[in-house]
Amino acid sequence: MSVLQIIDRPSPNFDARTRPIDLVVLHYTGMQNAEIALARLTDDTPTAGEFPGPWQRPDVLKDAPLPRVSAHYVVDEAGAVYRLVPEEHRAWHAGAASWEGEGDVNSRAVGIEIVNGGHDFGLPDFPDEQVASVIELTRQILKRWDLKPHRVVAHSDIAPERKSDPGEKFPWKRLADAGVSIWPKALVHADIADSDPVIRAQERLAKLGYAVKATGSLDPQTRYVVMAFQRRFRPSSITGQIDDETQAILAALSLQMPRY
């Protein structure tokens, strides 16, 4: 068990929760370094000129206001944990998102931002010290709120059309091995008699919590959801296609979580 170094760096960007905590959402910061990310997450009047980057149009005005954002915690590359918002309050990290058919994920989630440049900056590896702190922090949050490992999700899980963090390099299996996330065990291959594999996959994805409808068609929304699922559970091949291996992983996870 790691001993966490927690540093208070209060953010004014929060409000009141409207429901109990039942999720932990993991993000990457997607910014140049920890200090810039911390500055952005604690700024109550952010402007485009203060936080330039590839996410902005080149003609944006420097004084253009940016949305106020925050998270409950930030974990830097060395494993230091910054506490920005008390867990009892609603931080602003999820944005437009949905899980288990409900929006306003911020009201029910604890948000952890992991310092990493993300896809805009080459998607660096996550250092071992950082991952160890994320594991211990997540373990403590789950214990504090009496939550099970399947209540830990990715930002890309809850907002698959908009987000891809913490990304395909994030070591979800390491978290699962530590008991703070889920990972498929023995794969369960699809029944060849299944005449509606797309519907079956959509139903399983929806039961896991993803925002997808059982249309029987590999529509754009389904593709985004499948890519988010693969980014987390089959990061070696993120195709958006419901292939046999994706079906097998879905089936395995369904069996591991009978409540679904």
User: pLDDT tens digits, residue range 203-239?
Assistant: 999 999 999 999 999 999 999 999 999 999 999 999 9
- pLDDT at position 98: 97
Structural domains in the chain, CATH included, are: 6-177 (3.40.80.10), 197-256 (1.10.101.10)
**Per-residue model confidence as pLDDT tens digits over 81-137:** 999 999 999 999 999 999 999 999 999 999 999 999 999 999 999 999 999 999 999
CA distance 184 to 158: 19
Q: Tens of pLDDT along 2-45?
A: 679 899 999 999 999 999 999 999 999 999 999 999 999 999 99
Rounded to an integer, what distance in angstroms lies between the CA atom of residue 233 and that of residue 228? 9
Given a cut of 50, is residue 47 above it in pLDDT?
A: yes
Active-site choice (113, 161, 168, 203): 113
Look at the block and give the residue holding tokens 């498929």: 184
Q: How sure is the predictor about 260, in pLDDT bands with cuts at 50, 70 and 90?
A: very low
**Residue 256 binned pLDDT confidence (cut-offs 50, 70, 90):** confident
Per-residue pLDDT tens digits for 179-201: 999 999 888 776 555 568 999 99
Average pLDDT, the chain: 94
pLDDT at position 187, please? 83
| 136 in catalytic set | no
CA 157 to CA 163: how far, in whole Å?
8
- 118 HSE (CA, 13 A, CB side): 23
Q: Count of CB atoms within 10 A of residue 56's CB?
A: 13
Distances from the Cα of 109 to the Cα of 12, 54, 84, angstroms: 18, 28, 14
Across 160-186, average pLDDT: 97
Assess contact for 112 and 27: CB atoms under 8 A: yes
Distance in angstroms (rounded) separating the CA atoms of residues 198 and 67 = 37
Type of residue at 61:
L
Q: In 3D, which of 162, 249, 255, 257 has the Cα closest to residue 201?
A: 249
